[in-house]
Structure 1
Amino acid sequence: MLRFPSALTGALALAALLACGAAQAARDACPQAADIVRAVYPQAPAPDAEGRVRLGQDNLVVQISDDEFGAPFAVTCKAWPANPNLLLAAIPLVQDGPDDADGHDGDLQILVLDRATLNMLHDLRLEGLMSDDAIRVSGVSFDTARYDVAPGRRTFGLRISREGSSRANPFSETSLRLFDIGAQRLDMVLDGLIVDRSSGEWDTNCAGEFTERTVSLAMDTAQAQGLRDIVATESYESSRSAVQHGDCVEKTVDKGKTPHTLKFDGQRYRIPESLRALDRENAG
């Protein structure tokens, strides 16, 4: 079974997500970022002193990050273990604005490139997926687990993490999308499945209530419309914390697992409403 790491509950959830996100970004650091952007946008200028490439269309900016741990809006890439000749890349296309503190407005371009030449083989632009406001994008990374939707047919995944800015109401969520490389084009067959969500409300000292949900995936043998069903097992836990005898005590009040079967409808896997990520509202 393909399993995803869970975040810590309660007040530690955001710190755990940040550490996990930094580690994932380090694995997906993209030293070829500038070359990829140049190959895809040959008329674009060189990066400026801040590592940004201005495309000159719709006031779009691409971030080329030299930081060891990358950045949420920087180009991300990863060689695909299932086919080492291919390079997967994600280019955030963000509108340049006067103040990023108010949020971002942008799309995400998914690319499949020839690893040796950087020739673009497939691309897919997801409109609005990099837009955010109070719930900020905190990480983008490729997921190359064995998502075999049919014999000899493996998809690749993309995870997008988001987190809220309120200390009193902590919130974080990671969504998953799956992409299928066909003979003629790249298709998104799974759009915005929650694989991790943590939320809560507390007094910033001790007393509060918290919930955590994680989802593990397994490919089934049953099929619909030519692709295997995906069994998504949702694990959930609710807890409550309070001061007792001078100590902060946390107690689990509800815990369980719920299986869901995702079936392919000919275009995409159907996701139950309870497992639909927030960023599905932004994506086109």
Structure 2
Amino acid sequence: MKYSYLLIIFLLFSCSKNNKEKIPAKGAIEKQEIEKAVETVADEIEAVAKPSEHVTTTFKEELLKLKLKTVPLVDSTSFDNLTDKGDYQKINTEALKLAKVYKNWKELKSNYRAIDAYRLKLSKDFYTVVITALQSEEEIESRLINYDLEGNVIASEMIAYDEVVESWARTKSTIETDRITINYQYKVSEETGFVKIEPNGKFRMLNISDIFYELVIDELNINRSKLMPALQAFKILPNRPHEAIVVIPEIVEGSEEEHYFTLNTHIAYVNIENKQVLFHYFESAETNGWVSDAIRLDEIKIDTAPYTITENERAFGIKTHFVGSSRVNPYESDRLSLFVITNNNLQKVLHNFEILDNGGEWDGNCEGEFINEKKTLIISEEKNNGYFDILVKHKITNNITFEDENGDCDSKDSVTIKTSVLKFDGEFYKEEMLN
């Protein structure tokens, strides 16, 4: 109805004007004026019928308006580097769905002023936008937001922040394709956080072990599709708190089938403060014994017991834990390898020495026999080829289970103690029995 009134007004105005002006070819001019009036009204109708750009702009349209930046880059948004207010961008917060980013959007919206935004190409599977906004006259932040290909918010993370209130704080970040390194600066302290950008666009805060797994994997160019995270290991050296050991097993191409696999060994000696790989040891599955089949490789651990094999050298150990899958023939084994730093390299000096051997056979009900052998290593004062001998104390427990005269299951243990010695032959420690 509104449109009809507009049309009538324009037509009456046109006709009245033509009656007052005594112009030849009146019919032709009237027709021309009517057509012009109709076109004008049509434009007005279209303007009224079409919602504002703020409402109709889609996520994709708004995204493509933003300038594209490349990574790695540092976002150090602060009040110090604000441009002139005339340079502030007009950001469509509705199209970018900030109501899905901030839980308190209704309260925040009244003071929130988006002043800049750019996009990053981190993946072909999701979109990334960084929005800078004044949250109040005293606070400014930049937030990285990942969206799925339909424009739905996947996750967001604050990457830069500044405030001018008394409790001064500032944050800046280095953005890379698959991670964000966030530097938090406070009045009296400074901290660093690491956020992993997962392939699906979600974020995961990394702890110190994650950080160094990522460092070693990247530094050694290990194929990520060949990783087995459940068997990775990390440990800070108690005698060198700024250094740590990182173990990254690597699946051998074509070896993985259900629970059967073989692994190459990557051991890195890293500096925690400088985030550097100082030394790297590699051994292929052909010689390292890291094979999982019916006897499953269940765990890899770093052993930092004080294996002081020279006056100035302390070795560290890598333990592999194996478990058998048979119920009637249970089996468990721990094997220890020792490593030292020599000639600016990591060297293995003890290879897969079995320190626990636990197995046996039973009928699945009661009757059976089990043998458990545990070995304790003690550094000796005797030397061979520059390294101290290692005494080995063997405790062997023989356990027999049987059904007694009352039909109850009973057991009997007998214990044997033996001693051996590990002597260094110039390349590896080799065992000699003493009794």
Distance apart, 1:193 and its partner CA: 1.0
Please report the TM-score for the alignment, with normalisation by the length of structure 2.
0.48
Q: Deviations for 1:57-84, whole angstroms, at most 9, x for unmatched residues?
A: xxxx0134xxxxxx2x3x2111111211
Partner residue, 1:265: 425
Indicate conservation of the 8 Å contact 1:36/1:118, yes or no.
no
Q: Is 1:62 matched up with 2:250? A: no
**Residue 271 of structure 2 is aligned with which of 114, 121, 128?**
114
Aligned-pair Cα RMSD in Å? 1.9
Aligned partners of 1:88, 1:174: CA distance in 2, in Å? 19
Aligned partners of 1:98, 1:267: CA distance in 2, in Å? 30
Matched letter for residue 167 of structure 1: R
**Residue 80 of structure 1 is aligned with which of 207, 226, 237?**
237
Distance apart, 1:268 and its partner CA: 0.9
Matched letter for residue 246 of structure 1: G
Please report the TM-score for the alignment, with normalisation by the length of structure 1.
0.73
Q: Is 1:35 matched up with 2:200? A: no
How many residues align? The count is 221
Instruction: Give 1 or 2 for the bigger CA radius of gyration.
Output: 2
**Residue 230 of structure 1 is aligned with which of 380, 390, 411?**
390
Q: Deviations for 1:189-208, whole angstroms, at most 9, x for unmatched residues?
A: 11111111100100111110
Aligned partners of 2:277, 2:372: CA distance in 1, in Å? 39
* Bigger proportion of residues as helix: 2
Where has structure 1 moved over 3 Å in runs of 4 or more?
A: 96-100
Q: Gaps (5+ residues) in structure 2?
A: 1-207
Distance apart, 1:122 and its partner CA: 1.1
Higher relative contact order (CA 8 A, sep 6+): 1
Residues 98 and 264 of structure 1: CA distance in aligned 2, closer, same or farther (over 3 Å): closer
Partner residue, 2:331: 171
Aligned partners of 1:161, 1:237: CA distance in 2, in Å? 20
The correspondence of residues 1-284 of structure 1 with structure 2, limited to 5 A, is 30-32=209-211, 33-41=213-221, 53-54=224-225, 61-64=226-229, 71=230, 73=231, 75-95=232-252, 97=254, 100-101=257-258, 103-128=260-285, 129=288, 130-244=290-404, 245-252=406-413, 254-272=414-432
Residues 116 and 39 of structure 1: CA distance in aligned 2, closer, same or farther (over 3 Å): farther
Bigger mean CA deviation after superposition, 92-101 or 210-219:
92-101
Aligned partners of 1:259, 1:216: CA distance in 2, in Å? 10
Secondary structure at 1:266's aligned position in 2?
A: coil
Partner residue, 1:282: none
Secondary structure at 2:366's aligned position in 1?
A: coil
Matched letter for residue 166 of structure 1: S
Matched letter for residue 362 of structure 2: W
Q: Gaps (5+ residues) in structure 1?
A: 1-28, 45-52, 55-60, 65-70, 274-284
Residues 144 and 99 of structure 1: CA distance in aligned 2, closer, same or farther (over 3 Å): closer
